[in-house]
Amino acid sequence: MSGTLAATVERFLDYLKVERNYSPQTLIRYRHDLTRLVEYANARDIAEWSALRSDAVRSFIAGEHRAGIAPKTLQARLSACRSLFKFLLRSGELKHDPAAGVRAPKAPRKLPQVLDVDQMQKLVEIPTDGAAATRDRAILELLYSSGLRISELTGLKWRDLDLADASVRVTGKGRKTRVVPVGSKALDALRALRNLERVTSEDEPVFRGRNGAPIAAASVRARMQAWACAQGIERRVYPHLLRHSFASHLLESSGDLRAVQELLGHADIATTQIYTHLDFQHLARVYDAAHPRARRRAKAQ
């Protein structure tokens, strides 16, 4: 990127990093999306953001679509543009929103993947025969117990956990804080980890990587997939899969969509509603096969 447009983008990204505490992954995506917009504007001799009109933004999105960019990616790209324009409107550098009335192509709705209860139990119940395995068991248990995002998990410090109250305080998207319950199995795993590591300060990270620094998200993903293979789970396993499984299993058992929304930290309940579209009959069969009370009833019958 070069020129005035690019300088504004850099200032916007600094704002997102410092003021809004956006994750490094989100900042990378925003930079890529806005770089594409700057390149489009430069190719058409648009030197100031105030010269950008809605028809140009619409043409930009249409051109990306013709180039084969997926609708979901285009929606994210347009969202990044809208965020930049709102930033410029607030600062008075724009008088109108160039993205007003512009829409990205609709993406086909993709249902979240989940592990069933038996698969989930097999994944989390790994042997804790060493320091790394004890840490990994606590990671797996907490992800499934509380439905955390990977960024929320890697940022945890011991002061965020209240083991006596069985709760954890996390800071999610948009720096929004929420307190969610922690299940008994996760509590046991966390206590075992704390005892092993001999924690001396509540400001220490809960999950450490090399040199005592917070464990990296990439390390969590790699360890999780390695454990899935070791436990005989023949599919791709990743942190958000446990979040999906948490939400689906909880909604299946409770039917309380609002409660699941609060636990996940979704700003819009429409985001949570996707879990209601999962095959209920499949979930009912999982429940009947896995829940202890359901198994007892089946045996009695």
Residue carrying the six token digits 């990270």: 205
Residues 125, 136: Cα–Cα separation, whole Å: 10
Burial category of 300 from C-beta neighbours within 10 Å (exposed 0-12, middle 13-18, buried 19 and up)? exposed
Specify whether the CB–CB gap between 251 and 276 falls below 8 A. yes
What are the contacts of 212-217 at 24+ separation with CB within 8 A? 214/154, 214/155, 215/135, 215/139, 215/154, 216/154, 217/25, 217/150, 217/151, 217/154
Whether 240 is a known active-site residue: answer yes
Note if 137 is an active site residue: no
**Active-site entry in 29, 58, 82, 266:** 266
Which residues make Cβ contacts (< 8 Å) with residue 189, sequence separation at least 6?
A: 128, 134, 137, 138, 141, 142
Active site residue 243: yes
Catalytic, out of 17, 82, 157, 173: 173
Q: Which of 137, 149, 185, 249 is catalytic?
A: 149
The number of beta carbons lying within 10 Å of the beta carbon of residue 69 is: 16
Cβ pair 295, 282 in contact under 8 A: no
| Exposed e or buried b per residue across 256-291, where buried means at least 16 C-beta atoms within 10 angstroms of its C-beta | eeeebbebbbbeeeeebeebeebeeeebeebbeebb
Q: Estimate the crossing angle of helix 292-300 against helix 280-290, to 10 degrees.
A: 80
Token pair listed for 104: 């990205």
- Is residue 275 part of the annotated active site? The answer reads yes
| Residue of 86, 169, 240, 291 marked active site | 240
Select from 154, 109, 123, 111 the least CA-distant residue to 242.
123
Active site residues: 149, 173, 240, 243, 266, 275
